[in-house]
Amino acid sequence: MSVESVFPRLEPLLPSVSKPIQYIGGELNSTVKDWDAARVRWALMYPDAYEVGLPNQGVQILYEVLNERDDILAERTYAVMPDMERVMRENGIPQFTVDAHRPIAAFDILGVSFATELGYTNLLTALDLAGIPLHAVDRTDADPVVLAGGHSAFNPEPIADFVDAAVLGDGEEVVLAISEVIGEWKDEGRPGGRDELLARLAASGGVYVPKFYDVGYLPDGRIEKIAPNREGIPWTVAKHTLMDLDDWPYPKKPLVPLAETVHERFSVEIFRGCTRGCRFCQAGMITRPVRERSLQTIGQMVDNGLKQSGFEEVGLLSLSSADHSEIGDVAQQLGDRYEGTNTSLSLPSTRVDAFNITLANEFSRGGRRSGLTFAPEGGSERLRKVINKMVSEEDLIRTVAAAYSHGWRQVKLYFMCGLPTETDEDVLQIGELAKRVIETGREVSGRKDIRCTVSIGGFVPKPHTPFQWASQLDHETTDERLRKLRASVQSDKRFGRAIGFRYHDGKPGTIEGLLSRGDRRVGRVIEAVWRDGGRFDGWSEHFSYDRWAEKAAEQLVPLGVDLDWFTTRERDYDEVLPWDHLDSGLDREWLWEDWQDAIDPDGAVEVEDCRWTPCFDCGVCPQMDLDIQIGPTGQKLLPLSVV
C-alpha cells in the first residue's frame, strides 16, 4: 500500500522555521524509488542536523549500496532542529525522510548511524515524532525495526531500551544480509511476527538484539553476568569487516547538498583501519585490520566523483591518511592530474614527520599554504609514551621547521587533557612545546607573523580500547589544568599573541563518558534528559550539563550507582564490562596487557605499528580470519582523462 508524502502539509509551514532548505531534499544524486515496487524499505538516519549529517560518508555509502538493488529502497532522515520539532508537533507532522517526505514509521527498518553518543537524545525525538514507541518492548509488528550502527554501537547498552538491534563494524555487506532476512520473512507472510524476525537476525551472530540478553548485577553495582536468554542466540556478537575495498568503490554518486553543510567536498576513503596502536583511540582499535584501496581505484573514484558531483575539493580520508603505503605516488600523481585546474586536494594530516610536509606541499601545489594540523595528543614525552603516540619533541620540531620553511605560516597542534597518569606538569608542557614551535618558526622563516593554535579536547575513555578500564578525569580538574596552562602561556609576553588556544570546558566530556561506558541503567538517564527537553547534546548551545547531572542523580542513585561511578572509577580486570559480549575482534587479554604496559610504574612500554613490523597479537587477524592488506601495488593512475 502506497504511503503518502507529508510534503503538501509541510511546505506551507517551512517559511516559519530556520533554514527550511534542509528539509526539502532533491539534492543532486539523491534517489526516490517506487514505494510499491520495493520488497524492503530502509530509512537511514544520521541523528544530527542536516548540515552535519548530509556529508556523513557512512550514510551516503549505505544509501547508495541499498538503492542500487532493485528490490530495496532507502531514504534519508536527519534530526530536525528544535523550531521545526515544535512546528511538527503543533501540526501533527511525523518525522519524515528528506527524499520523498515519507513518514519513517512506514519503513521496515530505521537504521541510525551514531558517530557520537551525544546523538542519543536526538534518536528519541525522531522516534517520538514518528509515533514509534520509544521502548523496543512496546513496539508491534507495524513498527520498523530500529537498528543502531556506527562507532557508538560498539557499546549500545545505554540505548538498549530504545533500539531493537545493533550492528558492529562495516555496514556495506551486512545491510544487504539484513535486507535479505527481512525480505524472506515478509515473503513468508511475517511468521512469528516481530519477535521471530529479530530472532532470525540475532541467530546469525552478526546482529545484536539486546532483548535476547539478560544482564545481572552484583550488590556493589557492577555487572555480574550478561547471557542470552533463549535458545539459538549466540553468547557473543561479532563485528563485520569488509575486506576488499576495491570491490566497493562507494560513494559513486556523492550527494551534493542544497543547503550549507560542514564539508562541501568529495571524500574518498583511501583505507580503513589503523594499526598505530594509540591507546586512547577507539576508531583505530575497532576498525582493524588495515585495508587499503589501490592507487587505481582511488584515482578512478576521484575522477568519477568529481564528474558526478561538480565538487572542486577532494578529501582523501582515513584515520591516518599519510600512512597509505603508496601515499607518495597518490599525492604526486593526483597532483599532476589536477595541477592547473580548479580542483584542490586535501589530506587530513596527523602524522608528525617531515614526509607529511612533502605530501602537504604536493597537495597544495600552486594553492595557499594556510594551515597544517598535527596531533601529538600528549604534552610531554612521558605522556606520549603512555598513550603510545610515538612522537618525540625533536620529531615535532623538525616537522614544523620543515613546514615553516616551505611557506606554511600557521600550525595547529591537537592535544588531549585528562589522559591516564597525567599531571599538571604534563599539561604545562603543551605550552612549552607551543613556544618552541613559535621560536623555530621565527628562526627558519625569519618572520614574526608565525602562529600556532593549540586545540585541546578532554579525554574520554572508550570501550574496546586499552583505556577502557581507566578512570576519567573529573571536569573540575580538567578545567583547572587548562586554566593553569593558559595562564602560563599568557604570562610570557614573547609568545602570548602568537599562540592561540581552543578548548571547551570538561563537562560535555563527562557526559560523553557516562554514555560511552554506561550500561543499560543509563538508558533511564537518557530518557529523563530527553523528556526534560534535552536535544542536540553535541552542540554547546543546546547542551546542559546541569540537566544531565540532575537526571543522572535522580535516576542512578536509587540504583546504588552515580555519574562518578560510571566515569571517574577505574575498573579491574575481573569486572564484566557492559560490552564484553560484543566482539570487536580484539583479544581482551591483549587489551589488558597493553593497559598495564601504559601505566607501568617503570615507564610505559611502547608498541610498534604492525603494518610495518611483525604482528603483536592483538587478536583481530587470526580470530576473524582476516589479514592486513597493504601495498605497494606498483600501480600507476590510468591515463589522464580530460578534466
Site string for ligand SF4, 324-363 (x = CB under 6 A): ----------------------------------------
Return the residue matching grid coordinates 527498518.
109
In order, the DSSP letters of 56-106 are -HHHHHHHHHHHTSTTEEEEEEEPPPHHHHHHHHHHTPPPB-TTT--BGGG
Q: Which among 462, 559, 470, 458 has a CA at the least distance from the CA of 510? A: 458
Please report, as residue ranges, which positions from 98 to 117 form the binding site for ligand SF4 (by CB under 6 A).
none
Which CB atom, from 402 or from 604, has the smaller least distance to ligand SF4?
604
Which CB atom, from 458 or from 619, has the smaller least distance to ligand SF4?
619
Q: Which among 568, 587, 364 has a CA at the least distance from the CA of 458? A: 568
Which CB atom, from 333 or from 629, has the smaller least distance to ligand SF4?
629
Q: How far is the CB of 329 from ligand SF4 (least distance, A)?
A: 24
Q: Is 628 in the site for ligand SF4 (CB under 6 A)?
A: yes
Site string for ligand SF4, 262-301 (x = CB under 6 A): -------------x------------xx------------
Which CB atom, from 513 or from 585, has the smaller least distance to ligand SF4?
585
Helix spans in 232-321 (H): 282-286, 295-309
Which CB atom, from 60 or from 282, has the smaller least distance to ligand SF4?
282
* Contact with ligand SF4 (CB under 6 A) among 487, 553, 559, 615: 615
Q: Is 97 in the site for ligand SF4 (CB under 6 A)?
A: no
Q: With both helix axes pointing from N to C terminus, report the angle between 82-91 and 120-130 in degrees, rounded to the nearest 10.
A: 20
Q: How far is the CB of 591 from ligand SF4 (least distance, A)?
A: 11
| Element holding 227 (H helix, E strand) | strand 223-228
- Among the candidate windows 12-20, 21-29, 503-511, 611-619, which touches ligand SF4 by CB under 6 A? 611-619
Q: Which among 169, 13, 182 has a CA at the least distance from the CA of 83? A: 13
Residues 138, 140: Cα–Cα separation, whole Å: 7
Q: How far is the CB of 607 from ligand SF4 (least distance, A)?
A: 8
Q: How far is the CB of 243 from ligand SF4 (least distance, A)?
A: 13
**Count of chain residues binding ligand SF4 (CB under 6 A):** 12
Q: Which among 269, 230, 219 has a CA at the least distance from the CA of 249? A: 269
Which CB atom, from 479 or from 609, has the smaller least distance to ligand SF4?
609
Beta partners for residue 113, in sequence order? 149
Q: Is 152 in the site for ligand SF4 (CB under 6 A)?
A: no
Contact 286, 239 (CB under 8 A): yes
Angle (CA) 413 374 455, round 5°: 25
Q: How far is the CB of 619 from ligand SF4 (least distance, A)?
A: 6
Which CB atom, from 206 or from 585, has the smaller least distance to ligand SF4?
585
Which CB atom, from 224 or from 617, has the smaller least distance to ligand SF4?
617
Site string for ligand SF4, 568-607 (x = CB under 6 A): ----------------------------------------
CA dihedral 465, 377, 426, 468 (to 10 degrees): -10
Q: Which three cell numbers stand for residue 22?
A: 534542509
Please report, as residue ranges, which positions from 157 to 216 form the binding site for ligand SF4 (by CB under 6 A).
none
Site string for ligand SF4, 396-415 (x = CB under 6 A): --------------------
How far CA 537 is from CA of 139, 457, 484, 545, in Å, comes to 26, 16, 28, 9
- Among the candidate windows 18-26, 119-127, 560-568, 612-620, which touches ligand SF4 by CB under 6 A? 612-620
Q: Is 241 in the site for ligand SF4 (CB under 6 A)?
A: no
Residues 374, 16: Cα–Cα separation, whole Å: 43
Determine how many CB atoms are found less than 10 A away from the CB of residue 560.
Answer: 12
Residues 267, 250: Cα–Cα separation, whole Å: 10
* Contact with ligand SF4 (CB under 6 A) among 450, 511, 618, 630: 618
- Among the candidate windows 101-109, 118-126, 253-261, 614-622, which touches ligand SF4 by CB under 6 A? 614-622
Q: How far is the CB of 516 from ligand SF4 (least distance, A)?
A: 23
- Among the candidate windows 213-221, 311-319, 488-496, 618-626, which touches ligand SF4 by CB under 6 A? 618-626
Q: How far is the CB of 44 from ligand SF4 (least distance, A)?
A: 30
Return the residue matching grid coordinates 542523580.
553
| Eight-state DSSP code of residue 49 | -
- Among the candidate windows 39-47, 210-218, 409-417, 610-618, which touches ligand SF4 by CB under 6 A? 610-618
Q: How far is the CB of 625 from ligand SF4 (least distance, A)?
A: 11
Q: How far is the CB of 590 from ligand SF4 (least distance, A)?
A: 8
Q: How far is the CB of 614 from ligand SF4 (least distance, A)?
A: 8
- Among the candidate windows 107-115, 173-181, 432-440, 616-624, which touches ligand SF4 by CB under 6 A? 616-624
Which CB atom, from 555 or from 584, has the smaller least distance to ligand SF4?
584
Angle (CA) 52 57 59, round 5°: 80
Q: How far is the CB of 610 from ligand SF4 (least distance, A)?
A: 3
Residues 369, 407: Cα–Cα separation, whole Å: 7
* Contact with ligand SF4 (CB under 6 A) among 255, 270, 610, 630: 610
In order, the DSSP letters of 333-348 are HHHHHHTTSS-EEE--
Contact 289, 627 (CB under 8 A): yes
How far CA 464 is from CA of 239, 470, 519, 604, in Å, comes to 12, 12, 14, 20
| Element holding 357 (H helix, E strand) | helix 354-363
Q: Which three cell numbers stand for residue 168?
A: 558492529
Helix spans in 231-294 (H): 282-286
- Among the candidate windows 184-192, 207-215, 239-247, 615-623, which touches ligand SF4 by CB under 6 A? 615-623
Q: Is 621 in the site for ligand SF4 (CB under 6 A)?
A: yes
Q: How far is the CB of 618 from ligand SF4 (least distance, A)?
A: 3
Q: Which three cell numbers stand for residue 568?
A: 571517574
Which CB atom, from 214 or from 617, has the smaller least distance to ligand SF4?
617
Helix (H, G, I), strand (E, B) or coil at 423: coil
For the chain, helix (H) and strand (E) counts, in that order, are: 21, 18
For the chain, what is the largest distance between any 2 Cα atoms, rounded to a whole number of angstroms?
77
| Eight-state DSSP code of residue 583 | E
Which CB atom, from 570 or from 627, has the smaller least distance to ligand SF4?
627
Q: Which residues bind ligand SF4 (CB under 6 A)?
A: 275, 288-289, 610, 615-621, 628
